[in-house]
Amino acid sequence: MIYKVGRAVGLTIFAVLILLPVLVVVFGSFKGDLELMTKPLALPERWSFDNYRNLIQGGEIVNNFRNSVIVTLFSVLLTLFISSLASFGIARMIHVSGRVLFVMFSLGLAIPAATSIIGIYQLFVKLNLTNTLHGLVIINVASTLPISIFILSAFFRQIPSEIYESAAMDGAKPFRLYKSIALPLSRPSMGAVAIFLFVITWNDLLYPLLLITQSDLKTLPLALLDFRGEYAINFSMIFTAVMVASIPMVAMYLAMQKTFVSGLTAGAVKG
Amino acid sequence: MKTTETGARKGASLRPSKLGSKRQGSSGRLARANDRALFLMIVPAIIMYAVFYLYPTLSNLRYAFSEWDGLQEAKFIGTKNFTRALTNDDIFYKVLGNNIEFTGLVVIFQTGLSLLFAIFLLKNTRTSVALRTLYFFPTIISSVSVAMVWQFLYEPNLGPINTFLNSVGLDFLALNWLGSETVTLRAIAFTQVWFHTGQMMVVYIAGLQQIPQELYEAAEVDGASRWQQFKSVTWPMALPTTAVVMAYTTIQSFRAFDLVYAMTQGGPNNSSSILVTLIYLTAFNELRFGYAATQSIYLVIFILALTALQRRILRTRY
């Protein structure tokens, strides 16, 4: 009895703690700032799209959105391609050399990215890669390779080698085995890794902050920081920008919950 | 190309005994060709990682021994940076203390709450699944967005939290959440727990579902209460999962750069700064690149020591 009541109370409190801020943001993006401040939780008096219109007419956010899409798409696809190739190689290479590489890649997993920023910044300045979107793609790929390889090579190892052997007997080369056996079999884990990469790349602040200063090249999280300066305490505008930045992820989450949860927890457990 | 060849040869020399049994029928020459092909598949990853991540990370070792504003030539100053951080830098110690407090708070509350909610939502009923979806939700939002939302909630004069506290007569609790040196770090820790508890709950649920049902049935036959069941079945059986959750939460709390930077930039007066934000600000606001590299090295040492310690404690308790 005590357990049941405690459970219900605990679950309700945490549910409210998550729901309330979400509602404040969603409703707030349709309100004026005064209304948001005085009645943060109430439904908007009228559902006005003025904030969205002003934001988009400001122009910059469209740019930021496009930059985020470009950077995320290329980063995720490239990481997936390079890491799946490497994972296959590592998993299929017999013993020592494969394991050495595996250790090398997993070395960086526990260390926060922020410890590398000085060297990365200097290198990217030297190579003229600051203030470019492809520079951002490069650092995203390089920094997410270890975790992707970690997850994928664990999966590739689980594929029984008999499956490869029969194909190898027919003379199939490693790349063929990768393309026509390993990849199709690994679709679920590739999906999970893809989602994981999507979320961390789309949401990342550190690397854009480090490498991008030109406002037309900024991605959404970085632009959001500028917004705060620009709109000072105009939270309804800020929340509108938060909505724009979050909607793609939220839509994907609602459409593919299972892949999201497994992808983000795989990243957690392995990371 | 040179590395490729030596690598392939090395791989080939290591394999015969193992390989013979694994790939019967393939001649040695074919196996070697295959190994070279396999190695070629790894090369793009090695190059990307080594050039753009490993090399810049290791170059900390060089910068850390110099005084350098990032623009002019670096000046070699030996181990001065290292001794200064330890003996003559109050801010470094303050931030180290902050980081320990932040990590401690987050690890305790995030692990405890995620275990509690995992137990509550273990059964796959419709309500449980819906609540899991809701609790997990913050995980997919960017730290910057989360920071904006909580800046509003914590706003000292008109923000919802203080408005609520004032309206129910708890004025003394209506603090300046992100503007006072005493509570800001804790307020950010609260947001971090709010942010990631759902994610760790999912990890726990996966772990708890592995526990054989018979153990609970046996405990029930013995007349064990819920608390006794937890103490003698759930907790010991979930220890490996707890180890994973705690290790990840620790690392995650050290990585909370985005959240801290977006919420307070470490202020006021460094009271909410953690090591990763300190490194960034030392390098890019104060233009002391050499010193920031030294701080990075201390951070790495600190994390490695902490992970080793954690692993040791949890291993002895299995």
Confidence of residue A42 (pLDDT cuts 50, 70, 90): confident
Rg (CA), chain A: 23
What pLDDT shows up at residue B264? 94
Name which residue leads in pLDDT, A105 or A175. A175
For CA atoms B64, B67, B70, B71, give the dihedral sign. Answer: negative
| Residue A246 touches partner B, C-beta closer than 8 Å | yes
pLDDT digits (tens, 9 = 90+) for B270-291: 999 999 999 999 999 999 999 9
pLDDT digits (tens, 9 = 90+) for B193-216: 999 999 999 999 999 998 999 999
Q: How many CB atoms lie within 10 A of CB A127?
A: 13
In total, chain B counts a number of residues equal to 318
pLDDT digits (tens, 9 = 90+) for A93-148: 765 566 677 676 666 677 788 889 999 999 999 999 999 999 999 999 999 998 89
Residue B82 scores a pLDDT above 70: yes
* Nearest-neighbour CA in chain A from B268: distance (Å): 17
Confidence of residue A158 (pLDDT cuts 50, 70, 90): confident
What pLDDT shows up at residue B31? 66
Set of chain B residues whose Cβ sits within 8 Å of the Cβ of A11: 117, 120-121, 131
Which of B145, B153, B154, B158 should we substitute to test contact with A (largest number of A Cβ atoms within 10 Å)?
B145
Helix axes A2-28, B126-136, angle to 10 degrees: 50
Residue A254 scores a pLDDT above 70: yes
**Residue A23 phi, psi (nearest 5):** -65, -40
Closest residue, chain B, to A197 (C-alpha): B140
DSSP class per residue in B268-282: STTTT--HHHHHHHH
A28 token code pair:
């707030």
Residue B30 scores a pLDDT above 80: no
**Contact: B38, A89; criterion CB under 8 Å:** yes
CB of B163 closer than 8 Å to CB of A35: no
Query: Was domain B89-287 assigned CATH 1.10.3720.10?
Result: yes
CB of B184 closer than 8 Å to CB of B177: yes
CA distance A100 to A193: 23
What pLDDT shows up at residue B25? 44
Which among B49, B140, B292 has the least Cβ separation from residue A146?
B49
ipTM over 0.85: yes
What pLDDT shows up at residue B3? 36
pLDDT digits (tens, 9 = 90+) for B219-271: 989 888 889 999 999 999 999 899 889 988 998 999 999 999 999 999 899 99
CB of A80 closer than 8 Å to CB of A193: yes
Closest CA to A182 of A68, A260, A88, A65: A88
* Nearest-neighbour CA in chain B from A127: distance (Å): 11
Average pLDDT taken over every residue of chain B? 86
Residue A15 scores a pLDDT above 60: yes
Confidence of residue B14 (pLDDT cuts 50, 70, 90): very low
Residue A269 scores a pLDDT above 80: no
| Residue A127 touches partner B, C-beta closer than 8 Å | no
Residue B16 scores a pLDDT above 50: no
A181 token code pair:
């056996």
* Nearest-neighbour CA in chain B from A184: distance (Å): 17
CB of B282 closer than 8 Å to CB of B291: yes
* Nearest-neighbour CA in chain B from A2: distance (Å): 11
What pLDDT shows up at residue A106? 65
**Contact: A117, B279; criterion CB under 8 Å:** yes
Closest residue, chain B, to A7 (C-alpha): B120
What pLDDT shows up at residue A94? 63
Closest residue, chain B, to A211 (C-alpha): B284
What pLDDT shows up at residue A160? 83
Residue B15 scores a pLDDT above 70: no
Name which residue leads in pLDDT, B12 or B307. B307
Q: Sketch the domain layout of chain B as residue ranges.
A: 2-58, 89-287
What pLDDT shows up at residue B171? 85
Three-state secondary structure along chain A? CHHHHHHHHHHHHHHHHHHHHHHHHHHHCCCCHHHHHHCCCCCCCCCCCHHHHHHHHHCHHHHHHHHHHHHHHHHHHHHHHHHHHHHHHHHHCCCHHHHHHHHHHHHHHCCCHHHHHHHHHHHHHHCCCCCCHHHHHHHHHHHHHHHHHHHHHHHHHHCCHHHHHHHHHCCCCHHHHHHHHHHHHCHHHHHHHHHHHHHHHHHCCHHHHHHCCCHHHCCHHHHHHHHHHHCCCCHHHHHHHHHHHHHHHHHHHHHCHHHHHHHHHHHHHHC
What pLDDT shows up at residue B141? 95
Q: How many CB atoms lie within 10 A of CB A39?
A: 14
